[in-house]
Chain A
Amino acid sequence: MQKYISEQNLNALLDKLIAEGKRVVAPRLNAGTPLYEPLASAAELVIDRLPRRSGKEAFFPLCEDIMSYEKEGQRVELQDIDPVRFPETVLVGVRPCDAAAIPVLDTVFSWDYKDEFFLERRRKTTIIGLACTQADDACFCSAVGLSPGDPKGADLFLTPLEGGGYACEAFSEKGETLVGAHHELFAEPNGAKALPLAEPQTDAFDLKKVKQWLDEHFEDPSWDTIATRCVGCGACAFVCPACHCFDIVDEGTEKKGKRRKNWDACGFWKFTHHASGHNPRDQQPKRYRNRIMHKFKYYDDKFGQTLCTGCGRCIRLCPVGIDIAAILQQVEAKVE
């Protein structure tokens, strides 16, 4: 079902959704930094820049309360959070690298333990994807099997057209419902050509080869050369659309407080630091090895998927220039 929507009508759609009481999350500027955040109105939309952080936080916020407690004498009161109260959401302008990560996250959050905080937000969210017409030399979605025009993960997908406006196609029931409910804003295709898609310049990886090397080289001296310079911050994990480790902490006083779920990162020295004081990943190269293993081996072993969509965010932001695509190239080259 191909449709056409003009820029003006897209804005009108967002304003209508906001007026209906839906949470519309889309790229906007926060004190100058582009982020996916709830819009107050469509005028805030800044669609031409890749947001600094990914779209995952529409389901998996940086930090959320999962319980509150109060204690007085012998009386302890626990208050659950009711996921039913999570708002209906439309996530707009999601780049293919961000959208493709969402089904990957679905798998882990609905595996042995069903994470209702994630899943309920996910059920209530419609995703409007957007094809990319610009890439820099950190982008490598096409090297991990995606493309700047890949609608994977999107309910509705927009492709910018020559002369303005977007071609619009629904890829799920949610997408069709959204178009159906606002059909007056969509028109029949006008025959305009799509703008040329971005062209990421990294050659495709043979992820099987990469995995083969990882399978056999848990211990290997090259981990040191790869990662000695890693300073152990969480920047790479925090900007990644596919990273999903979290920590749970109680904050407040002994008498009153909240239990909170917040992002964790394998770069941190505290990650897997045991209560005994022992840490199986006691040095930075071991922590970085975990990052690569998790993305290209463990996740594949367990779920048959790769935990990287090539958005390049970690490459742009790593304080010491650690480049995951360069590392994959090196690893691939080690296999005959």
Chain B
Amino acid sequence: MTQAIDTSLYAAVTDAIRNEASRILSDGTVSAVIGYTAARRRGSAQPIVVSRIEDAAKLIFTPACVNNLAVYLTKAKKEVPKAGRIGVVVKGCDLKALVGLMGESQLTRERLYLIGVPCVGVLASVVQPDTELTSESIAPKCRECDAHLPAGCDYVPAQKPVTPELEKKYAAEIARLEALTPAERWSYWKEQSSKCIKCYACRQVCPFCFCEQCLCDRNKPQMVESTPRPAGNVAWHIVRAMHLAGRCAGCAECERVCPMDIPLNLLNRKMAKELKELFDHEAGFEVNEKGPLATFTEKDDQSFIK
């Protein structure tokens, strides 16, 4: 049964974001604010970098504000203004990515001014931007959200998000895949990865794909077949899952943007589950100086060494 989700608090959140952005721009706290603004299509939203006080009124928050804006603070996006302190509108799920980037010495807390969003959810990728937010149209990640009210921000509007209990889809789908035989699982992923067109949208929106040169772009020598063919596609998805293991913050951006509907976040969630079991590590709001795959301790599981 489709349940409606109450998004009425977003109007007040929008006002609060505008006021706060205008305040921190006028008193010089920040040089720019990265947030969302309305776009041409009915109900749509897009990222915007606001650096003039009068433009603060363009900021909005609606169920179409799907992007994780943390990507604009990575070195992969050098063009976005980097001078001074930067304000950024963050949902709880996106904040985990910023925290992860701090742990990887890509960002310092002092350079950021965080405007946290009390959030009841955003839309899934394939729907029209003006679709009403319901238990059907909501992004899969929001079904298992534990960050409706972001922690540790410089400013959070007073609104309290009220969210219904929703059925967890990733957990159920991972359980289904885990129950398959290895051969069945392999054929599932082979079919999914055969759709990949190597557009690299998944990599480009990921805050943790900030390498100046991706291994998969190398051609002298070529490390991974770069053409969208079976061997290279599978290699690409494995390389990415491995590189993101213990780093992925679970924002699900990679999955949202995949034009071929490949369920990439299932790989991420599975890796996160392994990391939790093996290293008791989870993406969250604590800055961890060293990720589990970048450190060695004697307590690490050694059972794979035969």
Residues of A within 8 A of B (CB): 30-33, 52-53, 62-63, 136-138, 224, 228-229, 231-235, 238-239, 249, 251, 260, 262-263, 265, 268, 270, 283-285, 315, 317, 319-323, 325-326, 329
Contact = CB atoms under 8 A, between A and B. Distances in A.
Interface string B209-231: 00000000101001001111100
B79 to A, nearest CB: 5
Interface in B246-272: 253, 256-257, 259-261
Contacts, number: 116
Given A31-B191, A234-B200, A270 B47 contact: no
A251 B227 contact: yes
Return the 5 tightest CB-CB contacts between A and B, nearest first. Answer: A321-B46, A233-B201, A319-B257, A326-B40, A233-B204
A263 B39 CA distance: 29
Given A232-B204, A262-B228, A317 B47 contact: no
B205 A63 contact: no
Given A228-B79, A321-B44, A234 B226 contact: no
20 contacts: A30-B195, A33-B260, A33-B261, A62-B228, A136-B128, A229-B47, A229-B49, A229-B72, A229-B80, A231-B71, A231-B77, A232-B204, A233-B201, A251-B232, A284-B79, A317-B257, A319-B257, A323-B44, A325-B40, A326-B40
B135 interface: no
A160 B256 CA distance: 34
Given A235-B201, A238-B197, A323 B39 contact: yes
A229 B217 contact: no
Contacts of B204: 231-233, 319
Contact of A138 (B41, B203, B228, B260): B41
B48 interface: yes
Contacts of B128: 136-137
A32 B261 contact: yes
Contacts of A62: 197, 228
A268 B201 CA distance: 10
B201 A319 contact: yes
A268 B200 CA distance: 9
A234 B201 contact: yes
B199 interface: yes
Interface string B3-46: 00000000000000000000000000000000000011110111
A52 B40 contact: no
Nearest to A262: B227
A326 B39 contact: yes
Contact of A285 (B47, B79, B225): B79
Interface size class of B (residues with CB under 8 A): 35 or more
Contact of B225 (A239, A251, A284): A251
B286 to A, nearest CB: 28
Nearest to A238: B199
B46 A319 contact: no
Contacts of B288: none
A319 B256 contact: yes
A63 B228 contact: yes
Nearest to A273: B217
B67 interface: yes
B226 A249 contact: yes
Contacts of B199: 233-235, 238, 265
Nearest to B44: A321
A11 B48 CA distance: 48
Contacts of B45: 321
B222 to A, nearest CB: 7
Nearest to B78: A283
B218 to A, nearest CB: 10
A3 to B, nearest CB: 36
B192 interface: yes
A231 B257 CA distance: 11
A138 B259 CA distance: 16
Among B48, B257, B260: residue with most chain A CB under 10 A = B260
A329 B31 CA distance: 29
B67 A320 contact: yes
Interface in B182-202: 191-192, 195, 197-201
B66 to A, nearest CB: 9
Contacts of B44: 321, 323
Contacts of A323: 39-41, 44, 46
B227 A260 contact: yes
B219 A249 contact: yes
Nearest to A33: B261
A233 B222 contact: no
A14 B180 CA distance: 37
Among A32, A138, A238: residue with most chain B CB under 10 A = A238
A62 B228 CA distance: 7
Nearest to B64: A321
Given A52-B259, A323-B39, 7 more contacts: A136-B128, A229-B48, A262-B227, A319-B204, A320-B47, A325-B40, A326-B39
Given A228-B80, A233-B205, A268-B200, A329 B259 contact: no
B229 A63 contact: yes
Contact of B42 (A137, A238, A265): A137
A270 B55 CA distance: 34
A82 B205 CA distance: 40
A156 to B, nearest CB: 29
Contact of B200 (A224, A233, A239, A322): A233
A285 B81 CA distance: 13
A150 B40 CA distance: 26
Contacts of B195: 30-31, 33
B257 A233 contact: yes
A265 B261 CA distance: 20
Contacts of A319: 67, 201, 204-205, 253, 256-257
